[in-house]
């Protein structure tokens, strides 16, 4: 049996979210120790992994928890079979290759494909392969972290190579406090960089109150944020409205992720619901910024 803090670390879902789900949907249901503290079983860990995977596929909590545990597992298996056909080479990379071999394999693919195609043909399928293996128990958490870290390190290198010129518009990429999931933001930054924009990535979470001044200090053209399915939708919309109000009006705001896909209508806000939209968004943004500096 593990504590709620340990459960949160195991499944990468915040403790506040776990408590909300317990009150609202009756899951997960903890046992209580002699001191009244929540304790969770291994079975609940596995069931929450399935919930997390369904969220990453776009399902909202109310739809997920309307199903029982067997129904959730059946739905996940169906989605994975339809949307995530296994890539044998990537599966081998995820499960068997050493760190050195992982680096060599990924760098070779990047050199062959270029950054944009690498994101869509390698990085995204690899992340899905890791998610599927983590969900069904065939890839350990430690192994998932190892492969993810090698991929993220390679992607980060693309943001500084080559260094953009002083006249290239700069975008600031960040996540707010409470957002643990950053790989989507990193993928987006690589795509924007590949399209000709400068990208400054802050990997650690930031308090919203410090973002407006940082954007001014760095003289960026836009601030880009990611809100995953684990970030409360209402909070994401509230944060965007507050940030838009505090940001300099000339600085654009870009938001992506499951938590904002329902739509947010704000001035100078660009919603990016899919990575595939980034080339078109980049082209339009570059044209507008160049017209302004004319």
One domain for residues 104 and 174: no
Q: Exposed, middle or buried, 45 (CB in 10 Å: 0-12/13-18/19+)?
A: middle
One domain for residues 283 and 248: yes
Q: Give the model's confidence band at 86: pLDDT under 50 very low, under 70 low, under 90 confident, else very high.
A: low
In a domain, 204, yes or no: yes
Q: Give the model's confidence band at 240: pLDDT under 50 very low, under 70 low, under 90 confident, else very high.
A: very high
CATH of the domain at 77: 1.10.1660.10
pLDDT tens sequence across 27-82: 998 888 888 889 998 888 888 888 888 887 778 888 899 999 899 988 888 877 66
Rounded-to-integer distance, Cα 187 and Cα 126, Å = 12
One domain for residues 270 and 198: yes
One domain for residues 104 and 195: no
Sign of CA dihedral 51, 53, 55, 59: negative
Please check the confidence at residue 84 and state whether its pLDDT lies above 60.
Answer: no
Q: Taking residues 262-268, what's their average pLDDT?
A: 72
Q: Which of 158, 189, 207 is the last residue of a domain?
A: 158
pLDDT tens sequence across 116-160: 999 999 999 999 888 878 777 788 888 999 999 999 999 999 987
CATH of the domain at 126: 1.10.1240
One domain for residues 21 and 118: no
In a domain, 163, yes or no: no
CATH of the domain at 195: 3.40.50.280
Predicted local distance difference test score (pLDDT) of residue 180: 79
Mean pLDDT value across the chain: 88
- Specify the range with the lowest mean pLDDT, choosing from 9-23, 188-202, 234-248, 255-269: 255-269
Q: Which of 56, 83, 110 is the last residue of a domain?
A: 83
In a domain, 165, yes or no: no
Sign of CA dihedral 279, 94, 18, 58: positive
Per the structure, the complete domain to which residue 78 belongs is given by 4-83
In a domain, 164, yes or no: no
Q: DSSP letter at 176?
A: B
Predicted local distance difference test score (pLDDT) of residue 53: 81
One domain for residues 73 and 98: no
- Specify the range with the lowest mean pLDDT, choosing from 86-95, 209-218, 235-244: 86-95
- Predicted TM-score (pTM) of the model is 0.79
Number of domains present in the structure of the chain: 3
Predicted local distance difference test score (pLDDT) of residue 83: 58
One domain for residues 115 and 217: no
Check if the beta carbon of residue 276 is closer than 8 Å to that of residue 260: no
In a domain, 227, yes or no: yes
């Amino acid at each position: 049996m593990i504590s709620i803090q340990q459960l949160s670390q195991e499944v990468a879902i915040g403790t506040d979210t776990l408590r909300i789900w317990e009150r609202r949907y009756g899951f997960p249901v903890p046992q209580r120790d002699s001191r009244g503290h929540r304790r969770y079983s291994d079975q609940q860990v596995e069931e929450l992994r399935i919930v997390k995977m369904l969220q990453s596929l776009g399902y909202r909590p109310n739809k997920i928890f309307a199903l029982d545990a067997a129904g959730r597992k059946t739905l996940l298996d169906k989605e994975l079979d339809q949307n995530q056909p296994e890539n044998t080479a990537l599966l081998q990379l995820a499960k068997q290759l050493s760190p050195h071999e992982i680096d060599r394999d990924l760098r070779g693919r990047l050199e062959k494909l270029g950054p944009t195609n690498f994101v869509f043909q390698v990085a995204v399928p690899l992340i899905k392969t890791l998610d599927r293996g983590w969900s069904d128990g065939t890839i350990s958490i430690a192994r998932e972290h190892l492969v993810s870290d090698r991929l993220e390190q390679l992607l980060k290198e693309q943001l500084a190579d080559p260094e953009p010129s002083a006249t290239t518009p700069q975008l600031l990429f960040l996540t707010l406090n409470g957002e643990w999931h950053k790989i989507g933001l990193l993928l987006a930054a690589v795509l924007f960089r590949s399209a000709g924009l400068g990208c400054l990535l802050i990997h650690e979470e930031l308090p919203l109150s410090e973002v407006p001044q940082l954007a001014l200090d760095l003289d960026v053209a836009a601030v880009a944020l990611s809100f995953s399915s684990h970030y409360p939708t209402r909070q994401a919309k509230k944060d965007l409205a507050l940030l838009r109000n505090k940001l300099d009006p000339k600085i654009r705001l870009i938001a992506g992720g499951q938590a904002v896909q329902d739509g947010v209508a704000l001035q100078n806000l660009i919603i990016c619901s899919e990575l595939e939209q980034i080339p078109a968004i980049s082209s339009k943004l570059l044209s507008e910024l160049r017209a302004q500096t004319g």
